[in-house]
């Protein structure tokens, strides 16, 4: 049983045939269908160096090759042409660009002047600086001073007085506790113990803040003098991040003739390492305050 049974007259039949033909030619598939146009996935080499990318290209019947603007931007090619995202840019339209399509190995060899290449930008912010490792332990420093008698008094081994200075600290991932004191002893006198400084400090490397409690010396400005205080203290400590740059710096850039490696050292500490291909590159230094 037929699903549709229609009868057309002479004029209706002509209109129906024209509609079918026009729909096949100008329909959505008819506009894009081109049996001689090929979509390619090619390994890209730029100025003899591999781009380490598989990009999409279009091969036209006349042998020319084109690509979408987004593909060319990912390859770092500066076209200088304004096209919509759906349009295809012919590689022959890009100034100073020459290419060779190797069908056997599915590669495309591109040669272009550095002036028409986008500099690859590397940001130092993505690489965290070396993080300090905290452990458990204790340290004790001491200084012992003692006086003796005299040979003239026939008491060479007699102790006239003894003074012991101790400085101990215990550290852990939760902070450091320090204690210093003086212990003095003399003949016919009571032993005395004098506490000097007692303090607890904790450093937050992520926030670059040092917290302290107990005896401390505050920071002085150029027109003031530090004073000794007792209490709780919180202060910024940029020394926790020696790789940190606290002043505006221009970006660093250049052109590599061959594939190279860029290493950046800040205060003698290697903070950034990046493999760059042949061509222009730029390294931006973030400003953090």
236-260 pLDDT, tens digit per residue, is 888 887 767 677 666 777 787 778 8
Q: Kindly indicate whether the domain formed by 34-113 is annotated with CATH number 3.40.640.10.
A: no
- Report pLDDT for 169: 92
- Report pLDDT for 50: 86
Q: What are phi and psi of 140, to 5 degrees?
A: -130, 120
Query: Containing H/E element for 23?
Result: helix 10-26
Give the span between the Cα atoms of 192 and 197, in whole angstroms. Answer: 16
pLDDT tops 60 at residue 19: no
pLDDT tops 70 at residue 269: yes
Return the number of other C-beta atoms located less than 10 Å from residue 158's C-beta: 12
**Strand pairing report for 107-111 and 38-46:** parallel
Give the span between the Cα atoms of 19 and 24, in whole angstroms. Answer: 9
| CB 79, CB 55: distance < 8 Å | no
Who wins on pLDDT, 13 or 182?
Answer: 182
* Residue keyed to tokens 């003239």: 152
76 closest CA partner among 289, 288, 280: 280
Give the span between the Cα atoms of 167 and 181, in whole angstroms. Answer: 7
Residue 254 tokens read as 């250049």
The model carries a pTM of 0.41
Give the span between the Cα atoms of 44 and 52, in whole angstroms. Answer: 7
- Report pLDDT for 17: 42
Who wins on pLDDT, 72 or 4?
Answer: 72
């Amino acid at each position: 049983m037929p699903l549709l049974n229609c009868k057309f007259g002479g004029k209706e039949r002509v209109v129906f045939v024209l509609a079918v033909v026009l729909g096949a030619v100008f329909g959505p598939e008819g506009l894009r269908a081109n049996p001689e146009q090929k979509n390619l996935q090619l390994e890209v080499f730029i100025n003899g160096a591999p781009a380490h990318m598989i990009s999409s290209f279009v091969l036209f019947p006349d042998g020319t090759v084109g690509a979408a603007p987004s593909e060319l931007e990912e390859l770092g090619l500066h076209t200088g042409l304004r096209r919509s995202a759906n349009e295809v840019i012919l590689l022959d339209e890009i100034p100073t660009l020459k290419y060779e399509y190797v069908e056997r190995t599915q590669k495309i060899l591109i040669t272009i002047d550095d002036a028409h290449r986008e500099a690859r930008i590397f940001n130092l912010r993505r690489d965290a600086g070396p993080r300090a490792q905290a452990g458990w332990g204790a340290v004790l420093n001491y200084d012992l001073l003692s006086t003796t008698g005299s040979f003239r008094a026939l008491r060479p081994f007699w102790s006239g007085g003894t003074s012991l200075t101790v400085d101990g600290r215990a550290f852990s991932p939760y902070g450091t506790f320090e204690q210093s004191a003086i212990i003095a002893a003399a003949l016919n006198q009571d032993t005395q113990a004098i506490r000097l400084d007692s303090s607890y400090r904790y450093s937050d490397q992520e926030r670059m803040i040092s917290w302290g409690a107990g005896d401390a010396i505050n920071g002085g400005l150029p027109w003031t003098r530090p004073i000794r205080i007792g209490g709780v203290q919180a202060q910024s400590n940029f020394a926790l991040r020696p790789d940190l740059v606290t002043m505006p710096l221009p970006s660093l850039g250049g052109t590599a003739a061959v594939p190279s490696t860029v290493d950046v050292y800040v205060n003698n500490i290697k903070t950034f390492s990046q493999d760059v291909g042949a061509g222009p590159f730029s390294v931006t230094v973030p400003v953090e305050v």
